[in-house]
A and B are shown apart, each in its own frame.
Chain A
Amino acid sequence: MNSNSNLPSTGPKPHMNPYLAGVLLGLVLLASFLILGVGLGASAGIARVGAFAQSCIMPQHVADSAYFGAWGKDPLRYYLVFMFVGTLLGGLVSAIMGRRVQPQLERGPTASRGRRIVMALAGGVLAGFASRVASGCTSGQALTGGAMLVTGSLLFLGAMFAGGYAVAWFVRRQWQ
């Protein structure tokens, strides 16, 4: 199960049973449906932080731009930005409770730091871009739209795994 679970009490605690963690996640999503009337999301929060950062450097350019411009003067006053901050905090509390806060660059035992950094960055750019194309990511499209049984979101879920499995073999080195 988890190789760290037998360490002394100072080591990280084991993770939750994944099925029960899934039920917990599903209940949070259901609560979001019933309270907010919308699902969970993460990529929009990141995009808005990006828009905000860019507007600190070139305010007029961002205000004039076709996509970010529509978010107005204060792109951070948006429910998904608040949700993203909440996600960070919730993750932090859970990680502290589980003694799992470990500063590190996660990679395979023989993979170089440089390889992992390039992969994380390039993958991030691609995922950030793609989530704007599809108006959502694993949370906002696959999970939320999937639970709503929306056709397009279920297609997104399928396409996401198809894209991932198609390329997995080529990028395996970082985990070896």
Chain B
Amino acid sequence: MITTFFGQDGLGSSAALVLSLLLGFGFGFALEQAGFGSSRRLAGIFYFRDMTVLRVMFTAMVTAMLGLQLALALGVLSAEQIYFLPTIYGAQIVGGLLFGVGFVMSSWCPGTAAVGLASGRLDALIFLGGAALGSILFNEFYGIVGPLATWGDSGVKFMWAALGVSGPVFALLFSAVAVAAFWGSEWIEKKVAGAGPYLGSPFLKAFSVTILVGALAVALLPPATPSTTATAPAALSEIGMLQAMEAGDDHIDPDALADRLMAGDASLLLVDIRTPAEFAAAHIRGAVNVAAADLPEFLEPRKNKGTVVLYSNWMTHPAQARDALARMGFANTYLLTDGLEGFMQQVLKPVSLRSTPLAEVQAVKVNAWRTFFLGGPQTHAAKTMNAPSDTPRLVETSWLQENLGRMVLRMIDLRLQPAYNGGHIPGSVRMDPEHFRGAVGGVSSMLLPADLIALHLGLLGITPQTTVVLVPTDKLQDATLVGMALERIGHMRYAILNGGWEQWAAEKRPADTLLPAITATEYPMATGADAFTVDYQEVLAHSQNRSAVLLDVRPGDFFSGKKSDEARAGHIPGAVNRSFILDVSTNNAVFRFKPLSELAEAYAKLIPSKDSPVVVSCRTGHQASQTYFVLRHLLGYRRVSWYDGGWAEWASRPELPVETGGG
């Protein structure tokens, strides 16, 4: 039985890299020997004057194809050891057409251009530069062309399965077509260019016979284990599923699971398909939480690799999920016998409470299980939760998708209600950022006191262990304002999704229209967490003493006093201006924070050092929350304060001084 690097998830290992280099060496050697270091020769196939490309390519495909089918039929290789490319109809057809045009224009393709360069061909170097540029263009326009690369994604699909024959039989047909193509190519080359060197030669006759006999032998060979050749990567047959069920092959017993988990078996993935609330209450140590509907996507990287065990309280739901997955070609999913309940009874129940006495060896084992699964520093939720410091303050869509179900996550969607109802990230709740503000002490639009914020979060089922991901739309300041609310009660386990909903949707990531199952809790509020909010008296003192950088983030015309929505026009004396809008980039309605390097450079011009006191303000504190987030969390300024009252309050207090102009 062969174990490949892919099969043991080791393609990134140093050994795999060295072997890749060696295999690449063989690849380049063979290409050059075939004459593919010459673009003129490669172009020949498109003008029927030199059909070498066809001969080499089809011979190589037939050789590797028969070898692969033989290895599978003999049982020395199982299908899960191979990474089978997915079929993505749109991407492969459109990409193939475009690639063909590029191929005939340049008369190079990436592999042959490498040996062309090695042979001193200047046009190969130009091609390679162009290909790198083309890749960069793909990345730059990924927002537009990215969906094309996944258009028509249909998973692993084999041509032989579509035709209703076995792999070896299809390989035989393919070999016959290849042999016909060899003869045809010799004939056409003779007609067009007077060449066709092997037409009717003893060599080609012998070669053709060898291929056909070899292909026939592979096709007639009885498959060693039917499941590895004909069915493993494709869907299991219904009969096969029933047989597996009858034999109990689709189950894993609680004690076997417990032993493998304790041994730290990395090939094992335990998936809890219950609701996040149930998962948060208690789960088997080491499990990840994934909704049943998200399983195919979540498990795709693990398809037919290692062991995946599904569980819920009992067995019905995991059994249904497993059968659905098996029909999609996942041959490596198992159920936990008797579910979580069975695990509790068989693994976790104390020896003293068991109805039948246990042998001493078994009792020792149960105690070891209990220590591992119940005791120690990692009790129920701890293992799957990242420490706050592990959670980046600004996360990308890929991070979020990867962590959906792995952590105790709660997304707060900040769009309008109809937009949320039309589709949202699974597990999101919708909230209006204005829910966290109100008139406080006569000043409008102030962030609510900590106890009211805690009450709101409790209603959303958020506990201090929840990692909150804020999902903005076109206003990043909506997310940062809610961030201020979270920070006021000391909830630092939060992140903002860069690019927000628009980017998530543009990348066609999972979405649903379901309301999440939420159990309201009482959020234990921490007092004294808010050391960053300052009032007008502190700001006045800074203004008079010039003891802090007063950063007004309103648009320039409001700063200078040209425009005004408030009692008086202008700004706090001594303040400097940088509009919050300048920190955001827009591309196709996706709003993202600008690259850190750009932000760092801009603020370095306004603020002397990372330890300089800074007070950010705007009209009502909303826009300033965004600049606060940028300075405090993205750029690491340590002494940033937030004047929530802002210009709305300052302008309404006639005793406070006002400056105009500048900006």
From A92, A98, A163, A168, B47 is in contact (CB under 8 Å) with A168
Q: Do A128 and B135 touch (CB < 8 A)? A: yes
In the complex, the answer to whether B28 meets A87 with C-beta atoms within 8 Å is yes
Are A87 and B24 in touch, CB under 8 angstroms? Answer: yes
CA distance A57 to B597 in the complex (A): 12
Closest B residue by C-beta to A148: B84
Q: Given A42, A45, A105, A125, which contacts B130 in the complex, CB threshold below 8 Å?
A: A125
Are the C-beta atoms of A95 and B30 separated by less than 8 Å? Answer: no
Contact of B39 with A by CB under 8 A: yes
Q: Which of A37, A47, A101 is within 8 Å of B120, CB to CB?
A: A101
Asked whether any CB of chain A lies closer than 8 Å to the CB of B68, the reply is yes
Per-residue interface assignment for chain B, residues 105 to 148, with 1 indicating a CB less than 8 Å from any chain A CB and 0 otherwise: 11111111111111111111011111111111111101101101
A54–B138 alpha-carbon span in the complex (Å): 13
* A 25-42 to B, binary, CB cutoff 8 A, 1 in contact else 0: 111111111111111101
* Known A86-B25, A106-B39; contact A95-B95, beta-carbon cutoff 8 A: no
Q: Provide the bound-state CA to CA distance between A140 and B24, in Å.
A: 12
What is the size category of the interface that chain B forms with chain A? 35 or more
A45 shortest CB reach to chain B, Å? 8
B456 to chain A, nearest CB (A): 32
Neighbour of B115 across the interface among A94, A102, A172, CB < 8 A: A94
Residue contact A90 to B28, C-beta cutoff 8 Å: yes
Most central of B67, B114, B143 by chain A CB within 10 Å: B114
Which residues in B have their C-beta under 8 angstroms from that of A39? Answer: 64, 85
Given A22-B63, A47-B135, A149-B160: A90 and B91 interface contact (C-beta under 8 Å): no
Please determine whether A89 and B133 come into contact, CB atoms closer than 8 angstroms. Answer: no
Choose among A84, A103, A106, A165 the residue that contacts B38 (Cβ–Cβ < 8 A): A106
Q: Which B residues from 31 to 81 make CB contacts under 8 A with A? A: 31-35, 37-40, 43, 46-47, 52, 55-65, 67-68, 71, 77, 81
A108 neighbours in B (Cβ, 8 Å): 40
A136, B85: Cβ atoms closer than 8 Å: yes
Contact B129 A98, beta carbon cutoff 8 Å: no
Mark contacts of A149-162 with chain B using CB atoms, 8 A cut-off: 1 yes-contact digit, 0 otherwise. 11111111111111
Complex interface: chain A residues within 8 A of B207 (CB): 19
B159 part of interface (Cβ distance < 8 Å): yes
Q: When A26-B62, A126-B98 are in contact, do A49 and B132 touch as well, CB less than 8 Å?
A: yes
Main secondary structure of the interface of B (DSSP, over half): helix
Is there an interface contact between B21 and A86, defined as CB atoms closer than 8 Å?
yes
Query: Which of B5-13, B270-278, B465-473, B534-542 interfaces with chain A?
Result: B5-13
Interface size of A as a range? 35 or more
User: Could you say which of A36, A101, A152 contacts B87, with CB atoms under 8 Å apart?
Assistant: A152
Task: Answer whether A95 and B115 are a contact pair too, CB < 8 Å, given A129-B137, A134-B99.
Answer: yes
In chain B, positions 436-481 with a C-beta closer than 8 Å to chain A are none
* Residue B2 interfacial (CB < 8 Å): yes
Of A23, A28, A134, A139, which contacts B96 at CB under 8 A?
Answer: A134
Digitize B238-265: 1 where CB-to-A-CB distance is under 8 Å, 0 elsewhere: 0000000000000000000000000000
3 cross-chain pairs, A with B, having the tightest CB-CB distances, nearest first: A124-B130, A86-B24, A26-B63
Additional pairs, 12, CB under 8 Å, beyond known A132-B149, A133-B94, A150-B85: A51-B136, A78-B12, A88-B117, A91-B115, A92-B115, A95-B118, A123-B107, A123-B127, A134-B149, A143-B60, A150-B159, A156-B96
30 pairs from A and B in contact (CB 8 Å cutoff): A1-B195, A15-B35, A25-B59, A27-B63, A31-B26, A33-B64, A37-B4, A38-B6, A40-B23, A65-B140, A66-B143, A66-B503, A82-B17, A84-B24, A87-B24, A120-B39, A128-B110, A128-B133, A130-B96, A134-B94, A137-B110, A138-B57, A142-B57, A148-B85, A151-B162, A156-B93, A160-B97, A164-B101, A164-B104, A166-B101
Q: Taking beta carbons and an 8 Å cutoff, which residues of A are in contact with B?
A: 1, 15-19, 21-40, 42-43, 45-47, 49-51, 53-54, 59-62, 64-70, 77-80, 82-95, 98, 100-108, 116-117, 119-168, 171-172, 174-175
**Which B residues contact A (CB, under 8 angstroms)?**
2, 4-7, 11-12, 16-35, 37-40, 43, 46-47, 52, 55-65, 67-68, 71, 77, 81-89, 91-124, 126-140, 142-143, 145-146, 148-149, 154, 156-160, 162, 167, 170-171, 174, 182, 195, 197-198, 203-204, 207, 396, 398, 503, 507, 592, 595-598
